Structure 1
Amino acid sequence: MGHDISGYNNAGEEIAYARFSMGNYNSTILYRLLDANDFYAGVSGNGRSTTFSTEQMEKALKAYKEFFRTGDSLSGIDLLGMDQKQILKFILNCLAAAQKENSVKVYFG
């Protein structure tokens, strides 16, 4: 059991991935930043997916910066912890896909 969260472009290719063990509370941070608490099922995601717009992913990045107090600069990414890095990488990859294709699909497993 654990949280396997994947982002997909419009072609169905995986463009982002985040993995948290079932006991890792940091998984809830990603759910919260994505405003996706309905997809959280305790020890894993609920097995459903949803589509996020560019605006929603921009909002998630803004929330990330506020939560981790990184400000407008992402230059300090190497100073972040492993989970913080994977959360940021996930959001940035999904945002890039959404900006290119107007949306990104995220699966919560």
Structure 2
Amino acid sequence: MGHDIAGYNQAGEEIAYLRFGMSNGHAAIVYSVLDADEFNGGVSGTGNSSSFSMQQMEKALNEYQSFWKSNKIPESEFVKWEIKQIQDFLSICMSAAEKEGNVRVSFS
């Protein structure tokens, strides 16, 4: 079990991907900044998807970055890597939404 979160462009191509183990707290942060808690099934995503505008993705990225500015980043190299992966995911999805009007994100 785990959380697979993927971003898709208008052509249906996967453009960004995140994978979290079922007990990884960073998955909950991603759901939260995307205002997508209804897609969090606890041990995995619900299998649903939603479209997000550029403004929604920008807001999510800003909230995510603010979260880590106000909280101490753990020293673990893995956690630092994971934080960067989430920022990259949000940035890629934001860019796609800016170019195409929106981006679809699936939560499984």
Per-residue deviation at 1:25?
1.3
Unaligned runs of 5+ in 2: 71-76
Which residue identity lines up with residue 86 of structure 2 in the other structure? I
Question: Secondary structure of the equivalent of 2:17?
Answer: strand
Deviations, residues 50-82 of structure 1 (Å, cap 9, x unaligned): 000111011111101211119xxxxxxx9x712
Asked whether 1:93 is paired with 2:92, we answer yes
**Equivalent residue runs for 1:26-105 within 5 Å:** 26-69=26-69, 81-105=80-104
TM-score by length of 1: 0.88
Deviating above 3 A after TM superposition, structure 1's stretches of 4 or more consecutive aligned residues are: none
Question: Secondary structure of the equivalent of 2:49?
Answer: strand
Which residue identity lines up with residue 20 of structure 1 in the other structure? F
Identity %, equivalent residues: 52
**Equivalent residue runs for 1:16-35 within 5 Å:** 16-35=16-35
TM-score by length of 2: 0.88
Task: Figure out how many residues of one structure are paired with residues of the other and give that number.
Answer: 101
RMSD: 1.6
